[in-house]
Amino acid sequence: MSAGLSRYVAVGIIAVFVIAALAIYMTIQQPTTPQITHVRFLGGLSGGGGYQLGTALIKIWQEKISGVSFTLEATQGFIDNAKKMFSGVGELGVVSADEALRILNNEPPYNTSGYKVYGVLPLLPLTYFHIIVPADSRINSFSDLNGKRVNILTRGSLTELLATRIFNALGINVVPTYLTHTDAAIALSKGEVDAAATTTFASQYKELALTKKLKVVSLTSTEAEKLKSALPYLSITEYDFGLQYEGCNKALVPVIWTLIVARSDLPEDLVYKLVKIAYENLDKLINIYPAARELTPELILNSPLPLHPGVIKYYNEIGIKVPDALKPK
């Protein structure tokens, strides 16, 4: 072999080695999307609404998604879920909107390094904070409750917590009572209290509506704006309470949101699949969890919590515009 030809062969061999080394380097350096094979769903208290909805969704997801397994875990509740997900325990979970917003805003106890969470699906039924009065009452707005006897349920209940925050935000001073739903319905029928606040559609008020005409107090537009400013984790929604209490009215009321959230590092494509499968198998979901009959894609657009990019991808696909306020920063 001539010296010239040997030189060309040597150069060729070196070039092959350089290309091979470069290819190996690029493979090592190239970032890859993490492969998720197991998802932990934090459902809250065993048997509660979050746990039940998690059970229903996982049954459907497991049938439709190959290569990913799901585990439903019982916890001490929705605040416990938030703390766990912030620390990296659990990829999906049921969390109240106010707690999720604290995470996004780096508020204590989430002002250290941790994972963000974004909205995926609402927990249903929604929690409508509402105040029931006799239909002939002169109480027609929340401000009209000033100085009135208002039952805010038992101490430590969600109703008491919300009522206290809402009345403080609106500058309203009521005379509170702490009766159970049963005792409050009796007191309302006898005129011993002027109003009864609740966050559930309790059977006691449904039964009372059959014998005594009732109405639900509606927020004025000014009151609604005050609440949205003071308590951003609430949304304001008009609801037809005649669907729950015989002969009742529509009213503008505060809604406190609890949602299924995903950790920010859960891949967009996986969350997209989770949401798409949930909506495309809504009939199956309703059969397992009847409250899901209220589920529509548009519903979560009223939530105060930004949505996971995978949810936004699905909404773009079906032609629903997501407001800028609900897009992750």
Distances, alpha carbon 297 to alpha carbons 41, 61, 275, in Å: 21, 18, 9
pLDDT of 157: 83
User: Fold for domain 38-124+258-326?
Assistant: D-Maltodextrin-Binding Protein; domain 2 (3.40.190)
The pLDDT of residue 64? 95
pLDDT score of 45: 86
- Residue 3: how many other CB atoms lie within 10 Å: 6
**Which residues are 39's β-sheet partners?**
70
Q: For residue 43, which amino acid is it?
A: G
Q: What is the pLDDT of residue 46?
A: 87
User: Are 162 and 201 contacting, i.e. CB atoms less than 8 angstroms apart?
Assistant: no
pLDDT on residue 77: 86
Q: Along the 329 residues of the chain, how does pLDDT read in single tens digits?
A: 555 545 544 444 554 444 444 444 444 343 344 578 999 999 998 888 899 999 999 999 999 999 999 999 998 888 899 999 999 999 999 999 999 999 999 999 999 999 999 999 999 989 999 999 999 999 999 999 999 999 999 987 889 989 999 999 999 999 999 999 999 999 999 999 999 999 989 999 999 999 999 999 999 999 999 999 999 889 999 999 999 999 999 999 999 999 999 999 999 999 999 999 999 999 999 999 999 999 999 999 989 999 999 999 999 999 999 999 999 98
Question: pLDDT for 117-148, tens place per residue?
Answer: 999 999 998 999 999 999 999 999 999 999 99
Cα 130 from Cα 152, distance rounded (Å): 10
pLDDT tens-digit readout, 42-72: 999 888 889 999 999 999 999 999 999 999 9
Q: What span, in angstroms and rounded, lies between the C-alpha atoms of 103 and 112?
A: 10
78: helix, coil or strand? helix
| Domain locations along the chain | 38-124+258-326, 127-256
What are the φ/ψ torsions at residue 262 (nearest 5 degrees)?
Answer: -120, 145
Decide: helix, strand or coil at residue 36: coil
Reduced to 3 states (helix: H, G, I; strand: E, B; else coil), residue 20 is helix
65-72 long-range contacts, CB within 8 A, separation 24+: 65/273, 65/274, 65/277, 67/37, 68/36, 68/37, 68/38, 68/39, 68/270, 69/37, 69/38, 69/39, 70/38, 70/39, 70/40, 70/41, 71/38, 71/39, 71/40, 71/41, 72/41, 72/43
CATH 3.40.50.970 fits 127-256, yes or no: no
The yes-or-no answer to whether 38-124+258-326 and 127-256 have a common fold is yes
